[in-house]
Amino acid sequence: MNKNMQKSLIKIIIALILFVITSVINFNNHLINNIIFIISYIIVGYSVILKAVKNILRGKVFDENFLMTIATIGAFCISEFPEAVAVMLFYQVGEWFQSYAVDKSRKSIASLMDIRPDYANVCREEIIKVSPEEVDVDEVILIRPGEKIPLDGIVTKGTSTLNTLALTGEAIPKRVKEGDEVLSGSINNDGILKVKVTKVFTESTVSKILDLVENASSRRSKSENFISKFAKYYTPIVVVIAIMLAIIPPLLIENATFSDWLYRALSFLVVSCPCALVISIPLSFFGGIGAASKIGALVKGSNYLEALSQTETIVCDKTGTLTEGVFKVGKIEAIGYSEAELLRYAAYAENHSNHPISISIKEAYNKKIDEKLVTNTKEISGKGLISQVNKHTVLIGNEKLMNEYKITFTKNQGIGTIIYIAIDNKFAGTITIADEIKKDAYKAINLFKENGIKKIVMLTGDKENISKEVADKLGIDEYHAELLPQDKVTETEKLMRKKAPNSKLVFIGDGINDAPVLALSDIGVAMGGLGSDAAIEAADVVIMTDEPSKLATAIKISRKTMKIVKQNIIFAISVKIIVLMLSAFGLATMWAAVFADVGVSVLAILNALRILRIKNIE
Domain containing 503 equals: 302-322+438-539
Residue 268 lies in a domain: yes
- Domain of 139, CATH number, reads 2.70.150.10
Residue 553 lies in a domain: no
Same domain, 610 and 494: no
Same domain, 515 and 473: yes
List, for residues 473-498, the tens digit of each pLDDT value: 999 999 998 887 788 889 999 999 99
Same domain, 96 and 244: yes
Same domain, 140 and 265: no
For the chain, the domain total comes to: 4
341 pLDDT above the threshold of 90: yes
Residue 546 lies in a domain: no
Same domain, 432 and 329: yes
**Which residues, at least 6 apart from 492, have a Cβ–Cβ distance to it below 8 Å?**
315, 459, 505, 507, 517, 520, 521
Mark which of 493, 510, 539 sits at the end of a domain: 539
Residue 114 lies in a domain: no
Taking alpha carbons only, the member of 102, 309, 300, 113 closest to residue 220 is 300
Same domain, 523 and 382: no
Has 317 been annotated as catalytic? yes
Mark which of 214, 231, 262 sits at the end of a domain: 214
196 pLDDT above the threshold of 80: yes
- Domain of 395, CATH number, reads 3.40.1110.10
Average pLDDT over residues 270-277: 70
List, for residues 485-543, the tens digit of each pLDDT value: 788 889 999 999 998 888 999 999 875 567 778 878 899 898 865 445 656 666 788 88
**Which residues, at least 6 apart from 586, have a Cβ–Cβ distance to it below 8 Å?**
260, 264
Report d(CA 182, CA 164) in Å as an integer. 10
- Domain of 475, CATH number, reads 3.40.50.1000
Same domain, 387 and 504: no
Mark which of 486, 510, 539 sits at the end of a domain: 539
List, for residues 139-184, the tens digit of each pLDDT value: 999 999 989 899 989 999 999 988 876 665 555 678 889 998 888 8
List, for residues 106-127, the tens digit of each pLDDT value: 555 545 555 667 899 999 889 9
**Which residues, at least 6 apart from 554, have a Cβ–Cβ distance to it below 8 Å?**
292, 295, 297, 299, 308, 541, 543
Same domain, 431 and 485: no
Same domain, 331 and 419: yes
Residue 598 lies in a domain: yes
- Mean pLDDT across the chain: 82
Same domain, 162 and 252: no
Q: What Rg, from alpha-carbon coordinates, does the chain have?
A: 34
138, 152, 260, 317: the catalytic one is 317
Q: What is the pTM of this model?
A: 0.68
Same domain, 498 and 380: no
Residue 295 lies in a domain: no
Same domain, 55 and 91: yes
